[in-house]
Amino acid sequence: MSESIRVVRRSFLAGLGVTLGGLALGSFAHAEAPKPPPAKPGGTNATGATAGAGLRPNVFVHVAPDGIVTIACARSEMGQGVRSTLPALIADELGADMARVKIVQAVGDKAYGDQNTDGSSSVRKAFTDLRRTGAAARMMLVTAAAKRLKVPASSLRVRDHTVIHEATKRALGFGELADDAAKVPVPKKEEIVLRPLSELKTIGKDLPLLDAPDIVTGRAMFGADLKLPGMLTAVIARPPVVGGKVAKYDAAKTLAVKGVQRVVSLPAPKPPFAFQPLGGLAVVADNTWAAMRGRALLEIAWEHGDNAGYDSKTYRAKLEAAVRAPGRVVRALGDADKVLASAKRTVESMYYAPNLAHAPMEPPVAVAKVDDRSCEVWASTQNPQSARTALAKALGFDESQVTVHVTLLGGGFGRKSKPDYVVEAALVAKAMGVPVRVQWTREDDLQHDYYHSVSAQRLVAGLDEGGKVVAWHHRTAFPPIASTFKDTAFSEPGQLGQGVLDVPLSIPNVRAENCEARAHTRIGWLRAVANIYHAFAVQSFLDEIAHARKVDPKDNLLELLGPARIWKPADLGVTELPNYGQPLDQHPIDTARHRRVVERVTDLSGWSKRAASGRALGLAVHRSFLAYIAVVVSVVKDPAGKIRVDEAWIVADAGLVVNMERARSQFEGAVIFGLSLALYGEITMKDGATEQSNFRDFRLMRLPEAPRRIHVEVLQSDAPPAGIGEPGVPPVAPALTNAIFALTGTRVRELPVIRTLSV
């Protein structure tokens, strides 16, 4: 006999008696933040007074009369530690004691500014504005204290939840001042005075991961953990080809499954597909297992639509043909074509990178409750505002009628910034009249993703009689992300600014072209976006040039980067640079920083002694999301002759870093993420449908395959904050393939590596 026992994560961990030691910092509430009147970061209300006790100068900060400071985190937590970093920064600027701080997750609302947890932007774009939110509250508390103590505000200092008059040692706690401070006008943005950076205790320190105790003990609330009274669960049979729809179906066997309540037909999307659900049939049941069993028994005839003929192999041939022909010129310096025609020698290579899936450990999931007047959703989303907008449009509501709560995310990598799955939950909940959880399976996740774009690139370099590189020609073709939102066959500047327009090369003649590539599936941003395939091609090709010139790859790289200098757009052969949405005067392209990370990573890895030690090392460097990252990878052959990664070094100059522990963790993760994609990552399609379905055929790096050690060094820098989560990924693949060439003499020009070599 056998007995079925239901085991859930939290009870399993509790049974193990998991405990955590160490420092506890602050506390988290998983409910939404208290809803204050809308205000921009830094405070724009005429007065701090609100309907409710205490000080609330803006949507981020509330000081209660009991002294508890509540800080809202407006970005989504998916393992990068944003809920441990951003509130701590605000509290630091305020002068709060984190032991008396409660952190709440903000709902989706434009009052919080940009909430999209994407583009490695949480710190780099909001650093100053978030500090202003804390500083505004601090200044109002100081003003109230100055009036109470009858002293000049300039004589007061704020620290440890207290406003102190240093001369007399008199002090007032935040709680004592909260109601009086609420009557003080909120300082205007230009009036706010920030602390000197030297006073901020968070900067460059290792901050505790505040969600960690709940995660490891099973108390954390991820999207699939949420349960509402009367809630049903749905899984959806979606068209296998993007743009397809249900021709006919028979649900008799499905409805006979115990627990299945109903089959709901979802509308087919119209191009451009944007964030619309894919349509299909939702099987709604009492539980996930019944819904999955019911879906498996659906008899569906699909009408596949215009993309039914899409095939990865034939499409690759089209891309490679595209980059062999002239494309749209996007970068021009000197006359590369003329110099190449007369060059003493040319080096030419073609590179290919396939579609990739995001594959977060937690597949997409959302819970929705909808009635005639409102929609309330709980979702593991990276962009609650985008989800709110999409929900309002799909339901015909005003956005004020829609509330989006954000749960913890079990990974995201860009997939969960697209809210198609959130809209699915709302549509099914509306049809059922009760709360519904839409749960994606791993197969759903891999077969209906917004894929990272497939890419083909052709690079040609011209050498003069002395072996100096005098010309560079780069062609790139990839279905752009913009194709998901409008009919286009060419990239937007943002993707070209990720490894084509912005590569600083001390070469007098440079030309880059963007070649036509139409999309036949949904294309979306994935961690590091176009930098992945552009860095792979450019940094691999630089290694090829070094081999052709018979010079050390490091020396070749430093020579082509040239001396330390700040590059203007005209120096690069372009009229303007997207620069990740940041001004070039604040975040210039600086080859001194390129050179610094290259020099440091090669020192750490023993690059100059690799021949004597018998090590096969590969080197790559890339600037993305305003950070400069250099990577060295060591590869060896195991007794069976398979290539494996032995060790890796990564050095980052990411400007001013707030949470050093999370930065190191993100760079370690970037190495594993980049190696996994480079070695195994590939999504292929036949007859318009994705061929991969689970981790058996979309391989991820496994523990025995990981480097025995990953060395991370984050350099101290006076530059403004740059990206952390994404920029570690792009140089990993070329560092790996360059190391493979050093070991085997085989040049890897297509990914994944497993297509070329035994790994």
DSSP string, 87-127: HHHHHHHHT--GGGEEEEEPPS-GGG------TT-TTTTTH
Asked which of 192, 217, 242 is the last residue of a domain, the reply is 217
Residue 120 pLDDT grade (very low, low, confident, very high; cuts 50, 70, 90): very high
The candidate with the shortest Cα–Cα distance to 706, out of 662, 746, 665, 675, is: 675
Cβ–Cβ under 8 Å, residues 688 and 581: no
pLDDT value at residue 52: 55
Token digits for 7?
A: 């085991």
Instruction: Tell me the C-alpha distance between 76 and 80, whole Å.
Output: 9
Residue 2 pLDDT grade (very low, low, confident, very high; cuts 50, 70, 90): very low
| Same domain, residue pair 412 and 456 | no
The candidate with the shortest Cα–Cα distance to 437, out of 225, 271, 276, 584, is: 225
Average pLDDT, integer, range 691-699: 97
**Domain housing 699:** 312-356+451-755
pLDDT value at residue 492: 86
| Same domain, residue pair 150 and 27 | yes
Three-class SS of residue 289? helix
- Which pTM value belongs to this model? 0.94
Residue 692 in any domain: the answer is yes
| Same domain, residue pair 630 and 614 | yes
Asked which of 217, 250, 280 is the last residue of a domain, the reply is 217
| Same domain, residue pair 204 and 322 | no
Instruction: Tell me the C-alpha distance between 399 and 384, whole Å.
Output: 12
Cβ–Cβ under 8 Å, residues 735 and 620: yes
Residue 6 in any domain: the answer is no
Average pLDDT, integer, range 666-693: 98
| Same domain, residue pair 404 and 487 | no
Instruction: Tell me the C-alpha distance between 234 and 260, whole Å.
Output: 9
Residue 6 pLDDT grade (very low, low, confident, very high; cuts 50, 70, 90): low
Buried b (16+ CB within 10 A) or exposed e, 706-719: bbeebbbbbeebeb
Three-class SS of residue 28? strand
E strands along 420-554, which residues? Answer: 436-439, 455-463, 469-477, 509-515
| Same domain, residue pair 461 and 350 | yes
β-strand pairing of 61-63 with 69-73: antiparallel
* pLDDT for 32 beyond 90: no
Token digits for 95?
A: 């002068």
* pLDDT for 268 beyond 70: yes
Give Cα separations from 6 to 10, 11, 225, 714 (angstroms). Answer: 12, 10, 14, 45
Q: How many domains does the chain have?
A: 3
| Same domain, residue pair 541 and 639 | yes
Average pLDDT, integer, range 42-59: 63
Instruction: Tell me the C-alpha distance between 654 and 274, whole Å.
Output: 32
Residue 147 in any domain: the answer is yes
| Same domain, residue pair 715 and 592 | yes
CATH of the domain at 520: 3.30.365.10
Work out the burial of residue 575: count CB atoms within 10 Å of its CB; fewer than 13 is exposed, 13-18 middle, 19 or more buried. Answer: exposed
φ/ψ bin of 581: left (φ > 0), alpha (ψ from -120 to 50), beta (otherwise)? left
pLDDT value at residue 16: 43
Integer Rg of the chain from CA: 27
| Same domain, residue pair 320 and 261 | no
| Same domain, residue pair 596 and 492 | yes
Token digits for 188?
A: 């205007």
Average pLDDT, integer, range 250-261: 98
Measured on CA atoms in the order 334, 340, 343, 348, is the torsion positive or negative?
Answer: positive
Return the residue matching tokens 């001042």.
177
| Same domain, residue pair 194 and 157 | yes
Residue 1 in any domain: the answer is no
| Same domain, residue pair 431 and 489 | no
Q: What is the residue type of 103? A: I
The candidate with the shortest Cα–Cα distance to 525, out of 80, 76, 119, 78, is: 119
List pLDDT tens digits, range 606-661: 999 999 999 999 999 999 999 999 999 999 999 999 999 999 999 999 999 999 99
Average pLDDT, integer, range 268-283: 97
Question: How many CA atoms are closer than 13 Å to the CA of 559, on its beta-carbon side?
Answer: 15
Transcribe 662-683 into DSSP letters: HHHHHHHHHHHHHHHHHHH--B
pLDDT value at residue 19: 35
Residue 63 in any domain: the answer is yes
Average pLDDT, the chain: 94
Residue 4 in any domain: the answer is no
CB within 8 Å of 546: residues ≥ 6 apart = 552, 553, 555, 556, 557
Q: What is the residue type of 400? A: S
* pLDDT for 30 beyond 80: no
